[in-house]
Amino acid sequence: MEPDKKTWSPESSSGPSAYEGDMGVVKRSFVRRMTESFQRDPNASVLQSASFSASEHKGLFDAEAAAQNTASSPLLRRLKGRHLQMIAIGGSIGTGLFVGSGKALADGGPASLLIAFSLTGVMMYCTIQALGELAVLFPVAGSFAAYSTRFLDPAWGFAMGWNYAMQWLVVLPLEIVAASITVDYWVQDIKLNAAWVTIFLLLIVVINFCGVKGYGEAEFVFSVIKVTAVIGFILLGILINIMGGVDEFGRPNGSYMGFRLWHSPGAFNNGFKGLCSVFVTAAFAFAGTELVGLAAAETENPRKALPSAIKQVFWRITLFYVVSLLLVGTLVAFDDPRLLNGDSSADAKASPFVIAIQSAGLEVLPSVMNVVIMISVLSVGNSAIYGSSRTLAALAEQNQAPRFFAYIDRKGRPLYAIIFASSLGVLGYLAASHKQTDAFDWMLALSGLSSIFTWSSICLAHIRFRHAWATQGHTLDELAFRSPVGVVGSWVGFSFNCLVLISQFWTGFSPVGWHTMTARELVINFFQAYLAAPVVFLMYIGYKLWKRTYVIKTRDMDLFTGKREFNVRLLVAEEKADRLNWPTWKKCYKFIC
């Protein structure tokens, strides 16, 4: 069995020794230890020693070498189960839920908001289950981009890898701009935005230079804060609903609200188009959940930690999205003008969570909620460097990106990829200009559809993998973790993602309220809604023509490189024996989680 944690020791290093002669007790200085940590990991020898195959010399893609390199990546396995579980939460709770849901409520009404987020949650559940099955069996660098290369088409894997890397590369300055906008809730001075950008950028960069464990600990803290805030809002929202009603003049009178706002002004707004526009917002809100699969390559025990994190996705979706947005729809009317008063999709003034608290006459809590929104923004920015750097390193290891991105240091950091991703954070200084909103919108356009393509590829890769698994004579009993919704769930996820792409095209071409927009505004709206699609297809077609790739046949798929060997029967028996010793509370927790 391949070891779970790859470690470095001075004896195995080809670089400067950590100890001099026999002076093993002499402590190295902090500066020297820090300097040595940036040197290339001695395990990162794949790209140095591997010679290009004949197919690479001819300009063709070498699928075998790509699979071997991603499977042999020297990323350290330092993430624990608690990190992985909170990454699964933290990746999906952000401005899409706290702020983006406000415009969605205004466009579609409370019923559309609830329906769209619920159905998107079902799609997300199916997608993450498929990703979990693949990631437990193949916890390789690059995760879903590598799966597209191995199980679909190397050209599509190239397009998906760069699509995902670009998404996060753009999201970093985007979130830094968003963080500076949240400060405007208290201090509206555009000249100070540059100072806030510097502080936020330095914080995010320092966290990522602390290695994968630093990223995991930071996400753990961020996620605990966000989860606490959502649970707190749910409890507060129930109380406001019970006795937070207002009179005809808008003054709180302590009356019961219930579903009063679903009757007047109504449950739906703008008909079917309003519902479709909410689907797009819901998809954006769930972006980042797939990071749990990317982190599998740096998890101590992916066989144990990943299924536990994956299983809880359903309950997180139910509690943090469906319940909270159900309450939001009963507390804030879709025609409330404050929902459209925000300057961007990160402006807390347009957050329905903040508006609900303000309407109840609570003065301090809106500022507390804005702090939570700021933390959410920083969390996403933190994930941006992690997601883009790991994807760039995996692309380089497959010879689909500049090879220097594959440099992994002794702390398991893809050093040059982190530096490159961090350098794009300087675009956040656009927040100090009067064009901050335009910059925000166009950066968002580049990343808007990226998650839809990623999720579609995960589902399709799982479908193709299952077909190849059966074709090559394997049974489902050999899988250490099996998606409970199986191939049917992956087809549901794939089909739903295609429907969201169609909805995005329609609402981009003919948005809600299009008759009040000029021709120039309609064109800008369409490109901001659909810019990612032509970029993806241009990358796919260009790489396919350049490398002359082909769709991988099921009988030719590599089902062995990077595969973790499990004695499934022994593991199941051990887990059953372990469950017998669990206390009652743990049995109940594991049953629902």
- Say what angle helices 352-359 and 324-331 make with each other, to 10 degrees: 50
- The pTM for the full model equals 0.85
Q: pLDDT-based confidence at 142, cuts 50/70/90?
A: confident
User: Smallest Cα–Cα separation from 43: which of 523, 412, 417?
Assistant: 412
Structural domain containing residue 356: 79-562
Q: Counting every residue, how long is the chain?
A: 593
Cα separation of 302 and 377, whole Å? 28
- pLDDT top residue among 540 and 191: 540
Would you say residue 262 lies in a domain? yes
Percent residues over pLDDT 90 in the chain: 17
HSE-up of 588 (CA within 13 Å, CB side)? 3
Residue 491: pLDDT over 60: yes
Would you say residue 48 lies in a domain? no
Would you say residue 260 lies in a domain? yes
* pLDDT tens digits, one per residue of 188-214: 766 677 888 888 899 999 998 888 888
Looking at the structure of the chain, the number of domains it has is 1
Please say whether the beta carbons of 229 and 369 come within 8 A: yes
Would you say residue 173 lies in a domain? yes
Would you say residue 25 lies in a domain? no
Lowest mean pLDDT among 28-32, 128-132, 185-189: 28-32
User: Smallest Cα–Cα separation from 547: which of 51, 55, 47, 54?
Assistant: 55
For residue 193, the one-letter residue type is N
Mean pLDDT of 115-123: 90
Would you say residue 378 lies in a domain? yes
Residue 254: pLDDT over 60: yes
Please say whether the beta carbons of 238 and 419 come within 8 A: no
Helices (H), 323-474: 324-331, 352-359, 365-397, 415-423, 436-447, 450-471
Mean pLDDT of 550-560: 88
Structure tokens at 394: 């995996």
Task: Give the SS3 label for residue 408.
Answer: strand
DSSP letter for each residue of 144-181: HHHHHHHHT-HHHHHHHHHHHHHHHHHHHHHHHHHHHH
Please say whether the beta carbons of 316 and 89 come within 8 A: yes
According to the model, what pLDDT value does residue 370 have? 85
* pLDDT tens digits, one per residue of 394-450: 888 888 888 888 888 877 888 899 999 999 888 878 766 666 667 667 766 777 688
Q: pLDDT-based confidence at 588, cuts 50/70/90?
A: low
According to the model, what pLDDT value does residue 346 have? 59
Q: For the chain, give the mean pLDDT.
A: 79
Would you say residue 178 lies in a domain? yes
User: Smallest Cα–Cα separation from 430: which of 536, 344, 556, 321?
Assistant: 344
Structure tokens at 267: 């449950």
According to the model, what pLDDT value does residue 151 have? 92
Please say whether the beta carbons of 158 and 367 come within 8 A: no
Residue 574: pLDDT over 70: no
Neighbours of 5 (CB within 10 A): 12
Mean pLDDT of 475-489: 88
Mean pLDDT of 483-499: 93
Would you say residue 353 lies in a domain? yes
Residue 183: pLDDT over 70: yes
Q: Which residues of 283-300 are buried (b: 16+ CB within 10 A; e: fewer)?
A: bbbbbbbbbbbbbbbbbb
Lowest mean pLDDT among 113-122, 262-271, 332-341, 510-519: 510-519
According to the model, what pLDDT value does residue 10 have? 35
HSE-up of 381 (CA within 13 Å, CB side)? 32
